[in-house]
């Protein structure tokens, strides 16, 4: 190690997504179909822009769909391996609301992601205070199609969420999500955590 000890770090949304925020927030996605369509679209653009893996997330008001935050995977752009889409969306929502518990005061926020979170983001979702998780799919297809390692999830991962007051909804937009992974897998984009590899 040479150089100074870092005392802070910053993670940012990519410029193309900042430019897209007006479009995303102007018409709150009222239905699950509309919410998943947004994250599938952003996930696809994200890897093509080179920011990171094909993953996107949003925190929305569960009832109205009003968008609180948006996130994409910025591992490559930020040089930070923890900056998955869920981590960005949850942190940016907490920053916007000025509190570490999104569920405070009875608020009902929903995390929308284009696939089941990896084990890190599974925990991050649990600690965030969201009351619902909506994903397009949950199977091992993501690992098979993209090569990413998602980590060891507990068998009853949904039950563990539900016992902590987080509802889980799976399946809307499933085929579109797989299409994004398929396109990523067919490219030469960087897989920053190869499945089963010890090479990082």
Stretch that binds a copy of itself, among 40-48, 76-84, 132-140, 170-178 (CB under 8 A): 76-84
The one among 10, 26, 175, 186 contacting a copy of itself by CB under 8 A: 10
Long-range contacts of 66-72 (CB under 8 A, 24+ apart): 66/28, 67/24, 67/25, 67/28, 67/29, 68/93, 68/96, 68/97, 68/109, 69/93, 69/96, 70/13, 70/17, 70/21, 70/24, 70/42, 71/13, 72/13, 72/14, 72/17, 72/42, 72/43, 72/46
Q: Dig out the tokens for 81 from the structure.
A: 């391996």
Rank residues 66 and 183 by Cβ distance to a copy of itself and give the closer one. 66
Rank residues 126 and 183 by Cβ distance to a copy of itself and give the closer one. 126
66 lies in the site for a copy of itself, by CB under 8 A:
yes
63 lies in the site for a copy of itself, by CB under 8 A:
no
Rank residues 31 and 64 by Cβ distance to a copy of itself and give the closer one. 64
78 lies in the site for a copy of itself, by CB under 8 A:
yes
Stretch that binds a copy of itself, among 41-49, 91-99, 138-146, 178-186 (CB under 8 A): 91-99
Angle at 14 between CA 200 and CA 11, to 5 degrees: 60
The one among 50, 139, 165, 171 contacting a copy of itself by CB under 8 A: 165
Stretch that binds a copy of itself, among 34-42, 43-51, 84-92, 181-189 (CB under 8 A): 84-92
Rank residues 79 and 187 by Cβ distance to a copy of itself and give the closer one. 79
Strands 56-61 and 109-113: antiparallel
Query: Backbone phi, then psi, for 43, in 5-degree steps?
Result: -60, -40
Question: How near is the Cβ of 7 to a copy of itself at its closest, in Å?
Answer: 5
């Amino acid at each position: 190690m040479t150089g100074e000890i870092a005392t802070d770090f910053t993670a940012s949304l990519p410029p193309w997504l900042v430019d897209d925020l007006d479009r995303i927030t102007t018409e709150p996605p009222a239905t699950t179909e509309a919410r998943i369509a947004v994250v599938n679209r952003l996930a696809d653009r994200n890897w093509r822009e080179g920011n990171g893996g094909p993953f996107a997330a949003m925190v929305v008001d569960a009832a109205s769909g009003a968008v609180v935050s948006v996130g994409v995977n910025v591992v490559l752009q930020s040089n930070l391996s923890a900056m998955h889409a869920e981590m960005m969306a949850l942190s940016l929502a907490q920053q916007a609301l000025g509190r570490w518990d999104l569920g405070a005061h009875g608020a009902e926020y929903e995390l929308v992601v284009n696939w089941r979170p990896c084990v890190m983001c599974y925990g991050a979702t649990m600690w965030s205070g969201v009351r619902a998780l909506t994903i397009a799919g949950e199977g091992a297809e993501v690992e098979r199609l993209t090569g990413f390692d998602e980590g060891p999830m507990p068998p009853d991962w949904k039950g563990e969420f539900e016992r902590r007051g987080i509802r889980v909804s799976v399946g809307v937009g499933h085929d579109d999500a797989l299409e994004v992974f398929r396109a990523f897998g067919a490219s030469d984009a960087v897989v920053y955590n190869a499945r089963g590899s010890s090479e990082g």
